Each structure stands twice: as C-alpha cells, then as structure tokens.
Amino acid sequence: MSDLGALFRAAGVTGYLHAVDVDTGAEVTHGADEPVVLASVFKVALLVEFFRQADAGRLEPSERVTVMADGHTPGPTGVSVMADDVTISLRDLAYLMMAVSDNTAADTLIRRVGLPAVNAMLAAAGLDGTWVEHDCRGLFASIVEDTGQEEMPTDPAVIARLRALDPARTSRSTPRDMTRLLSMIWRDEAASAESCASMRGLLGLQVWPHRLAAGFPYDDVAVSGKTGTLPTIRNEVGVVEYPDGGCYAVAVFTRSYGTAQNQPRADAVIGTAARAAVERLRD
C-alpha cells in the first residue's frame, strides 16, 4: 500500500482517512480519530435525521414548501442560485442537498427537522466526535464576521482566524465517525430499510466526479458520496461498491497548505488515498 502520509504531503495537504469493510469491519486508518471540519459533509447527518423523522411520521417527504427568492442561503448550486420563488417537496430538497450540495435546500430542511434533533440522533448513535454547530447560513455568517468581507478569503492571515476552520468551533466529526454513519446507512441500521435505501440512492446521485470517484474510474464500481468544501478544506465521505460484493466506507478529510480557492491536487488525492486504502482492504 502507498504511504498515505506521503500521498497527502505530495498533494500539499494534511490528510486524515478511515476506510472500513462494511461487512467484516476490517479497517485502514490514518488519523481516523482526529477532529476534522465537516463543511458540507454535515448534510449526511441531516439526511439521516430527515428520514428517521419520516419513518416516525413526524414529517411527510412529499410535503411541499415554497422557498422565497429573497430567502436563499449563499451557494453556487441548486435553489441557492435560482432567480424566482421555488415550490418543491421536502424529498426533492433532500435530493438537491445531496446531489449538488445545495445550501438553501439544506437550510430549508434544517428549519423543518431541527439541528437539536440531528445532534440528538448523532449522540444516540454513539457518534460522540460529531456535532453540527450551525446551518449553512450561520456558517457563512461566521466567515463574514471573521473576515469583514462577503467574498471567500485567500489571504493566509485572514484564513488563519476563521472559526469555520477550527473543529472546536464549527461543525465537526472524525473520519471514523463518518464511516460508522455511512455503514449504518448501508446496513439498514440508520433508519428503516426503505429509508436507508432512499439515502443510498441519493448519495449515489452526487454529481461531482473529481474527488472520491476519481480513484475508482471503472464502469462496474459504484461510488456514492458527499463532499465538503471551505477555504483550504476539501473533504469527501462515501461508499465504494465492487461487482463482487465488496463494500467499503471511506472518509477522507484534507486541509491544504496553500490558500488558493482552486485545489486540484487536494481534490485528486482524496480519490488516490481512498483507492490505496480500499486496495489494501481487498488484498
């Protein structure tokens, strides 16, 4: 197996990884219990609580809501960039949240589900290293407060003081916690079997191919995942499924040494490191 630390260093990042065989529990670790910044990876936990509340009859996924054009959370995709009011079902908001990481979709679901409920679910599942501190609007508000500007910063001195990049003061987890949550979804333990199947389907619809999926460029290998992105932060957690039945949950969290907004080496090493770990599990 490639040395994971060397792979991360060569890509100009600090990296943390946990990979686990969902069926056997065999694992590969690299800083798997270190606290990491979730960024949009927190949306996986929100998705789980959304479906658990649907199972309990506390919400109806087909319920339609209207998202007003002047109430959008900042973001580059989905409802966040639409010009007009949008009326849409809760489950289609969940789709947009997972497929294109739509921040407005996520915040609309949070208003329906509640962050305290998300954190209570995480605690009940024993995911003690995971906490969702705020919604997307609250996250971006903290960045504006810390920088005094609306644009995402690239100045290293400014980035160094962002609460959004401090695991102690923002939404956080560990690589091991995230693979446990994914394994619960794949083993039908996170919610009902029907809801877990729906979650797996939504995670499989994510459109971004340049991180985790880049490490597995095969037509017969399925990759389902969720990304997270902030200045210097590039993450993805997901599940890799082989045609022989092999099923592996992988969580990769990186922070780049450089502060440029485009980080292609950081994006690519997520897939490279994940593949190295999965290949070791399959040896």
pLDDT in tens, 97-142: 999 999 999 999 999 999 999 999 999 999 999 999 999 999 999 9
- How far from the centroid of its chain's Cα atoms is residue 54's Cα? 21
Positive or negative: CA dihedral 23, 28, 225, 191: positive
Rounded to 10 degrees, what is the CA torsion of 110, 115, 129, 19? -20
Write out the E strands in the chain: 13-21, 27-30, 36-37, 64-67, 86-89, 172-173, 222-230, 233-241, 247-256
Alpha-helix runs per DSSP H in 126-230: 136-147, 156-159, 175-186, 193-203
Does residue 2 register a pLDDT over 60? no
**Residues 6 or more apart in contact with residue 170 via CB below 8 angstroms:** 37, 38, 133, 134, 139, 142, 163, 164
pLDDT in tens, 55-105: 999 999 999 999 999 999 999 999 999 999 999 999 999 999 999 999 999
